[in-house]
Structure 1
């Protein structure tokens, strides 16, 4: 099998695993499945972010074009673009965030916290975490949506929301690349018998990390056409600091990580990226 075919199979498996995009029939048969293939697909998680970010930016752009000019237009567009990403991914990462919040908020004992995280029900800590994270994400995107001067009354200028669209796109890519370092640096402490993420979290090769950060650097190069390079640097620094904080937090509380921890880290890094962009302005 050629390297291009292998690349496509790994990428499509990552899309199948982390989104609700249907890959069925003969295409699914061609992609196939094995723990080794799923493990190799980890390098394409930022590539999944390209798809999710593109959908989010497209929804934001469409709503900006259809909605009336108003101070609240960026807020509505930000909220509904966030809804679109949740529908596209099935709330995969948000679910991990809620489980982590319930587990670590519900008990200071490591084993008890891990048991709580396995429970599919959402508790008080998980609900609070979801509300706060979605609120922060929507508010920051709405703020970024005003950067380039969202049209106001009496202003006949065309759509001018490229800044937030670029931020949405690159934010989803970078926030899916950084958590892969957690797989490399921390041991997996989840239920190895039942965890869907076990093949992914068991290990990640340097080759997969190279693929992942190739996705990230390529996306950053494209995003620099719309965003100032210094602003991107600040945003990536904020996301990197968020990753370091999550690494320290999970090391102290769990002595490792689970698949839910990866989802929670993605959400935190995404918000940190948007916050870094806002602060850099």
Structure 2
């Protein structure tokens, strides 16, 4: 029988780990709790998307679309504490600047921002701004936020189940995520990510779009996983954050391509 109080506790823990949303004190924390909380990653994505959608709906009544999108990106960073963006920057610095696995891991855990990280962050945020402006003008930004934030976290979480965990830090805060991951947890996180597909807007309501999106995400996951194993031997918490950012951007780009760019 489902223990609702335990599941609520795990969901709150996932929110606490990945966002700055106040969830109250969670007593008697254990590493295994965080591992079990991975099942709620995509649900946290839906919560983040809901907050951002509400914020954008308010912002766009007072400001032009482009300014509202900039403010939305600021709110997004504040809401998550730039958790995933930091992972992207650290991964880019480590893999871009290191020549051996040990040197790459050492650079990744360095808190200083390097050239590769700065460039990656700038380009990703710039692309997000451009595509979100297009999506807002096409009245697709709300749906896009829900789809992108849920699916991106689901793809990132799915890497845990079949990719080796590597880190030079014995006390890494992401280490518990890599332990005792179950197929049931992975299935749940993927099923939650499917929910936005039931609300496809008419302009995207096509077999071609859905198959293209799923195929693209699958190919990205396969190639990204192989690339991580080849470069550092597996994944770190930073790599999961980078995966989330990249998949989020890929989803925005595909929506723009199909709904605005004329891809059929």
Residue 224 (structure 1) aligned with residue 224 (structure 2): no
Q: Deviations over 1:9-47 (max 9, x none)?
A: 11111001111112224xx23xx4211111110010001
Look up the match of 2:226: 248
Look up the match of 2:36: 40
Look up the match of 1:20: 20
Look up the match of 1:260: 238
CA separation of 1:80 and 1:241: change in aligned 2, threshold 3 A: farther
Residue 112 (structure 1) aligned with residue 93 (structure 2): no
TM-score, with normalisation over the residues of structure 2?
0.91
Residue 143 of structure 2 contacts residue 196 of structure 2 at CA under 8 Å; is this kept in 1?
Answer: no
Tell which structure's C-alpha radius of gyration is larger.
Answer: 1
Between the aligned partners of 1:233 and 1:58, the Cα distance in structure 2 is 29
Between the aligned partners of 2:94 and 2:163, the Cα distance in structure 1 is 18
CA separation of 1:229 and 1:46: change in aligned 2, threshold 3 A: same
Between the aligned partners of 1:229 and 1:235, the Cα distance in structure 2 is 12
Between the aligned partners of 2:142 and 2:70, the Cα distance in structure 1 is 13
Look up the match of 2:191: 214
1:153-168 matches, within 5 Å, as 161=139, 163-168=140-145
2:247 corresponds, among 259, 263, 269, to 269
CA separation of 1:234 and 1:80: change in aligned 2, threshold 3 A: farther
The RMSD of aligned alpha carbons is 1.8
Residue 201 (structure 1) aligned with residue 192 (structure 2): no
After TM superposition, what 4+ stretches of structure 1 lie above 6 angstroms from structure 2?
none
Q: Deviations over 1:35-77 (max 9, x none)?
A: 111111001000110111112212221122112xxxxx33222
Between the aligned partners of 1:232 and 1:59, the Cα distance in structure 2 is 28
CA separation of 1:63 and 1:227: change in aligned 2, threshold 3 A: farther
CA separation of 1:2 and 1:242: change in aligned 2, threshold 3 A: closer
Between the aligned partners of 2:20 and 2:85, the Cα distance in structure 1 is 14
Between the aligned partners of 1:12 and 1:134, the Cα distance in structure 2 is 28
CA separation of 1:42 and 1:271: change in aligned 2, threshold 3 A: same
Residue 85 (structure 1) aligned with residue 62 (structure 2): no
1:47-196 matches, within 5 Å, as 47-67=43-63, 73-147=64-138, 161=139, 163-191=140-168, 193-196=170-173
Between the aligned partners of 2:92 and 2:2, the Cα distance in structure 1 is 43
Between the aligned partners of 1:136 and 1:241, the Cα distance in structure 2 is 21
Between the aligned partners of 2:181 and 2:76, the Cα distance in structure 1 is 26
Report how many residues are paired: 257
Between the aligned partners of 2:53 and 2:246, the Cα distance in structure 1 is 20
Q: Deviations over 1:190-211 (max 9, x none)?
A: 1351210111123410111122
Look up the match of 1:3: 3
| Structure 2 unaligned blocks of 5 or more | 260-264
Q: Deviations over 1:63-116 (max 9, x none)?
A: 22112xxxxx33222222121111001000000001001101112211101100
TM-score, with normalisation over the residues of structure 1?
0.86
- Residue 248 of structure 2 aligns to a residue whose secondary structure is helix
